[in-house]
Amino acid sequence: MKDFNYHSAKDSKEASKLASSSSAFLAGGMTTIPSMKLGLATYKDLIDIKNIKKLSGIKVSGKSVTIGAATKHVEVSNSKDVKKAIPSLSSLAEGIGDPQVRNRGTIGGSIANNDPSADYPSACIALNATIHTNERKIEAAKFFKGMFETALKKGELIEAIEFQIPEKSSYQKHPNPASRYAIVGVYVAKHKGDVNVAVTGAKSCVYNDKEMSKALSGNFSSSSIDGMDLDSSEMNSDMHASAEFRASLVVTQAKKAVDAC
Amino acid sequence: MGKISLEVNGRKVEKEAPDNTLLSTFLREHLQLTGTHIGCDTSQCGACVVHVDGNSLKSCTALAADVNGSKVTTIEGLETNGKMHPMQEAFKKLHGLQCGFCTPGMVMSAVDLLQKNKKPSDTEIRDWLEGNICRCTGYQNIVAAVKEAATKM
């Protein structure tokens, strides 16, 4: 791994002040460190944000669950408050990576990285999340821009993610049998008035499937999406699953999610 | 370059190390604690698992700098007065290893499991060991060893 300067920031202000075009924020480091070791990313400065107290913690109000950006996956999965307010979010966190990743990895890191098969971005889309940064609030629908790409500007730091508590919800994924990454993951959330069907793993970036959302908003039953023939032209195709198989998996996992609601 | 202060296996250590030093490198090359193994070096195999402040992590995917000030336990820290830890005894008794390369990480990960779940089921043990890969045993005896250790811890 190439050399860099390590900094530990005390607050968001110091963190963004240290940021430059050749720096990265370090939270759990579960993607940042492997990417640097493989030479896929190099930085002059790594700014550790784990010790910023304000960035950790979980708050539940009547309508929303707000999770600090540096909160670890294990803290989300173990939180009784999250389990009570949005059980599907707690089980999603419990299914990320392995125990050692969950002991280190953070929600903010997962979202900022926006891996096409990451679990948390689907939760943001399905649960109409608002991403709070040190500069502004961004709606999840406008946050995830493309493969590993977000609306974040250089030096902009995610501070918290605010999820809207749905009436019912469930996250179901078809994991790769070896790596356990989601080949396809579907997060279904029924809110007052509409239904979101957020899909991860299928395309280059997480998205809300409008066709299934519409069908389920009319009739919230797995029968209303049964046999739906999704357009697979933009879906990923690789050694693990063809685009056609992914299209079929999206429907299967969505049905499972609706039935589990 | 920065100063790394840790408590490793109950002993306070303070050493200068370059900022890009991984925790695994710090333990093996700066402290000569070579029981922590480097297998894949890409955070998949789990041979490098150690405990930091009571939780297991993959030491090849953490910087020494970002665990500065923590308490670290490695495989060398499990024994008491020359007596093996019950988990090590169980791995030995039930042949939970063949070549032994993955064993330090397997044992550290399994000890963390039993700290959090005193009586895990087979499924819970297998789920927990998802991040530890063994290419010899086929896992049967590893799971049996963890169950045996659960009765002794």
Strands A149-150 and A158-164: unpaired
Average pLDDT of chain B to the nearest whole number: 96
CATH of A53-164 given 3.30.465.10, 1.10.10.10, 3.90.1170.40, 3.40.50.2300: 3.30.465.10
pLDDT at A178: 82
Please give the pLDDT value at position B86. 97
Instruction: For residue range A32-46, list pLDDT tens digits in order.
Output: 999 999 999 999 999
Nearest to A126 by CA among A93, A87, A169: A169
Token digits of residue A6: 């390590």
A23 neighbourhood in chain B, CB within 8 Å: none
Q: Cite the residue boundaries of each domain of chain A with CATH code 3.30.390.50.
A: 168-260
Reported as half-sphere exposure (CB side, CA atoms, 13 A), residue A230 has a value of 26
Task: Please judge whether B42 and A8 are an interchain contact, meaning their C-beta atoms are less than 8 angstroms apart.
Answer: no
pLDDT at A193: 87
Topology adopted by domain A5-48: 3.30.43
Residue B153, pLDDT above cutoff 90: no
Evaluate whether B42 touches A38 at the Cβ level (below 8 Å): yes
The reported pLDDT for the residue numbered A48 is 97
Q: Which residues in chain B are classed under CATH 3.10.20.30?
A: 2-77
B124-137 per-position pLDDT tens digit: 999 999 999 999 99
Q: List, in order, residues 6 or more apart from B76 with CB less than 8 Å away.
A: B9, B33, B35
Instruction: Give all strands (DSSP E) within chain A, no chain letters.
Output: 5-8, 23-26, 45-48, 58-60, 64-68, 130-133, 137-139, 144-146, 149-150, 158-164, 168-175, 182-190, 195-200, 207-208
Helix (H, G, I), strand (E, B) or coil at B58: strand
B54 pLDDT band, cuts 50/70/90, is very high
Interface pTM, i.e. ipTM: 0.94
Sorting pLDDT into bands at 50, 70 and 90, what band is B20? very high
Indicate the pLDDT class of residue B1, thresholds 50, 70 and 90.
confident
**Which amino acid is residue A260, in one-letter code?**
A
Q: Show which residues on chain A lie within 8 Å of chain B, measured between beta carbons.
A: 1-6, 8, 26, 29-30, 33-34, 37-38, 46, 48, 50, 74, 97-101, 103-104, 179-180
Helix (H, G, I), strand (E, B) or coil at B2: strand
Q: Are strands A182-190 and A195-200 parallel, antiparallel or unpaired?
A: antiparallel
Please answer yes or no on whether A33 and B62 come within 8 Å at the CB atom: yes
In angstroms, rounded to a whole number, what is the distance separating the alpha carbons of residues B108 and A85?
Answer: 34
| pTM reported for the whole predicted model | 0.95
Q: What is the pLDDT of residue A180?
A: 83
Q: Which fold has domain A168-260?
A: Enolase-like; domain 1 (3.30.390)
Smallest Cβ distance to B19: which of A5, A101, A104? A5
pLDDT at B32: 98
- A49 contacts in chain B (CB < 8 Å): none
What pLDDT does A215 receive? Answer: 97
pLDDT band, residue B35 (cuts 50/70/90) = very high
Locate the chain B residue with the closest alpha carbon to A104.
B57
Dihedrals phi, psi of B37, to nearest 5 degrees: -95, 150
Mutation site, B29, B38, B43, interface A, largest A CB count within 10 A: B43
**Contact of A89 with A65, CB cutoff 8 Å:** yes
Domain boundaries for CATH 3.30.43 within chain A: 5-48
Contact A10, A52 (CB under 8 A): yes
Chain B residues with CB-CB distance to A8 below 8 A:
65-66, 68
Chain B residue with minimal CA distance to A37? B42
- Supply φ then ψ for residue B94, to 5 degrees: -100, 15
Alpha carbons B50 and A55: distance in angstroms, whole number: 26
Instruction: Using a pLDDT cut of 70, give the percent of chain B over it.
Output: 100
Q: Which residues of B touch A101 (CB under 8 A)?
A: 43, 58, 131
**Model confidence pLDDT, tens digit, residues B87-128:** 999 999 999 999 999 999 999 999 999 999 999 999 999 999
Q: Give contacts of B49 with chain A, Cβ < 8 Å.
A: 100
pLDDT of A27 reads 96
User: In what side-by-side order are the strands of the sheet with A130-133?
Assistant: A58-60, A64-68, A158-164, A130-133, A137-139
Residue of A7, A8, A100 for testing the chain B interface, max B β-carbons within 10 Å: A100
**Mind giving me the DSSP string for A62-103?**
SSEEEEETT-BHHHHHH-HHHHHH-HHHHHHHHTSS-HHHHT
Task: Say whether A254 sits in a helix, a strand or coil.
Answer: helix
Record: contact A98-B113, CB cut-off 8 A: no
The answer to whether B19 contacts A46, with C-beta atoms less than 8 Å apart, is yes
- According to CATH, the superfamily of the domain at B86-152 is [2Fe-2S]-binding domain (1.10.150.120)
Blockwise average pLDDT, block size 10, chain A, 261 residues: 95 95 96 95 96 96 97 98 98 96 97 96 98 98 97 95 98 90 96 96 97 96 96 95 97 98 95
Q: Would you place residue B55 in the very low, low, confident or very high pLDDT band (cuts 50, 70, 90)?
A: very high
Amino acid A133: pLDDT: 97
**Region(s) of chain B under CATH 1.10.150.120:** 86-152
CATH code for the structural domain at B2-77: 3.10.20.30
- Which chain B residue's Cα is nearest to A6? B19
